[in-house]
Amino acid sequence: MLKKQLNVLIVLFGLLFAGSTVNAESTQPSMMELVGKTEYTVNPADQPKGAVLIDANTGKLLWSENADAPRNPASIMKLMTLYLFYDAMHNNKFSMDTEITATPRHESIANIYALSNNKIKAGVAYPVKELIPMVLVPSSNVATIMLSELVDENPVRFIELMNEKAKELGMTNTHIYNATGAQISAFNGFYAEAGVDQSDLQLSMDNETTARDIGILTYYFLNKFPEVLDFTKDKKITVMENTPYTESFDSYNYSLPNTEYPFEGVDGLKTGSSQTGGFNIDMTAKQGDLRLIAVVLGVGDWSDQSGEYKRHPFSNAIMKYGFENFAYQEVLAKGKQEVGGKELVLKESLKDTVRKGDKVDFDTSNQVVQVKQDLPQVSDLIKPQSIDYTTAAKEAEMKEQEVTAKKAQEGGVLSFLNKIPGLNRLGIKDPVILGIIACLIVLVLSLLLFVILSIRSARKRKRIRQRNRRSR
């Protein structure tokens, strides 16, 4: 009987905790619920296999669905190649004006029909500033290879660098096997220069990552190299202008202004699609002070090429949710503030992203103040917004010490000057003027001492010369 009662209690506790979990999850709307609050009509079968919404200012994870599901990001992985490229460029290894002369191998890659590309002609010098938009907009595989080889001409080493950087950034579920998002086997033997040992390359492996990891990469990219958005903000670009090799490309980001699915503030960043990965987008938008990152992976099916449009209702719906429900704002002003019953003094204001309408509470442990809320960081390596503080009592103590030290210093000057006969009759009380007088007195005394020593030295030299004459 007792055993039966225990079993009943266990079941009841299990249902209780299960109900708590369901309630916690139900506070976040599903992808289809978000789309339902927009003007878009979508097929539920096309919804992404993984998606996240991240605050680009703070790295907070604002919404997610299957954030850690492994996916092939296709050409979005070109962003890692560009991240390494920008990193090397900012370390002065080359510049935007550096030119890369295309080889016959590069031209051969450009002519592979199965790869997204642009026209590259052997013998032509292509400036870096022209190759970057080729990577970002038409998703050129050959331009990506050319830039990667400027960082490290050995493709095996470059892929190692990509994986090392992914680990460094906290992309814990990312495994990279090529620099462009296309399998190495698709390059028809032209992935590396002839003679380069390619035995360590995985020819038929797809890159693997998650929506969370792509969001982490994008967070670091936009915070470290925001200028990349200059290449992605327009719906159409032209490269190699005023040369025989000029080309124009329409962006595949149909959420940009004046496109099929325009969304306010969108200015980047990268799309990608493949047979095994479906249709993906890594999108960013800014409204006011809030910049968001929406990553959507695995929309639709490769057999239906309209999937390149289908991804945008989902990414736009996530963005709409973000801008309607969150704000990046000043949560504590500079100066004296009462927080948690303590009077704090802040040297600068604290800004953070918070839910609109929510009461903001603070954590003041570890001598920093930060927002206490339920929004997690997308990565443990990205620390929450915080600022140092001192207590009002400590601030008062420090000011008192400063005043005491100043008085002691001034007292020393005044004491010295009061000993000078007649000076105290002038009635000068300003410590600055008294300090100047003290300096002048010290200067005069120093000059007198110098003159006295010079005279004594001259007399000494004269006596020595006289003794020398007598000895002759």
The pLDDT tens digits of the residues spanning 302-335 come to 999 999 999 999 999 999 999 999 999 999 999 9
User: Would you state the pLDDT for residue 91?
Assistant: 96
Burial 95-134 (b: 16+ CB within 10 A, else e): eeeeebebbebbbbbbebeebbbbbbeeebebebebbbbb
> What's the start-to-end Cα distance of the chain, in Å?
133
Tell whether 406 is in a known binding site: no
CB 145 within 8 A of CB 126: no
Cα(137)–Cα(231) distance, integer angstroms: 8
User: Would you state the pLDDT for residue 471?
Assistant: 58
User: Would you state the pLDDT for residue 439?
Assistant: 76
| Residue of 64, 116, 139, 255 marked active site | 139
The pLDDT tens digits of the residues spanning 260-311 come to 999 999 999 999 999 999 999 999 999 999 999 999 999 999 999 999 999 9
Q: Is the pLDDT of residue 434 over 90?
A: no
Q: In terms of pTM, does the model score above 0.95?
A: no
The pLDDT tens digits of the residues spanning 70-89 come to 999 999 999 999 999 999 99
Q: Compute the half-sphere exposure of residue 62: CA atoms within 13 Å on the CB side of its CA.
A: 30
Q: Compute the half-sphere exposure of residue 9: CA atoms within 13 Å on the CB side of its CA.
A: 6
Q: Is the pLDDT of residue 159 over 90?
A: yes
Over residues 61-78, the mean pLDDT reads: 98
199 assigned to active site: no
Over residues 186-210, the mean pLDDT reads: 94
Element (H, E) at 224: helix 211-224
User: Would you state the pLDDT for residue 114?
Assistant: 95
Classify residue 399 by burial, with Cβ atoms within 10 Å: 0-12, 13-18, 19+: exposed
Element (H, E) at 457: helix 431-471
Q: Which of 326, 342, 408 is nearest to 375 (CA)?
A: 326
Q: Is the pLDDT of residue 401 over 70?
A: no
- CB count within 10 Å of CB 162 equals 24
| Residue of 60, 78, 286, 320 marked active site | 78
Q: Pick the range with the lowest mean pLDDT from 208-217, 291-300, 419-428.
A: 419-428
Q: Is the pLDDT of residue 256 over 80?
A: yes
User: Would you state the pLDDT for residue 8?
Assistant: 40
User: Would you state the pLDDT for residue 420?
Assistant: 61
Classify residue 173 by burial, with Cβ atoms within 10 Å: 0-12, 13-18, 19+: middle
Residue tagged 């079968």 (tokens): 45
75 assigned to active site: yes
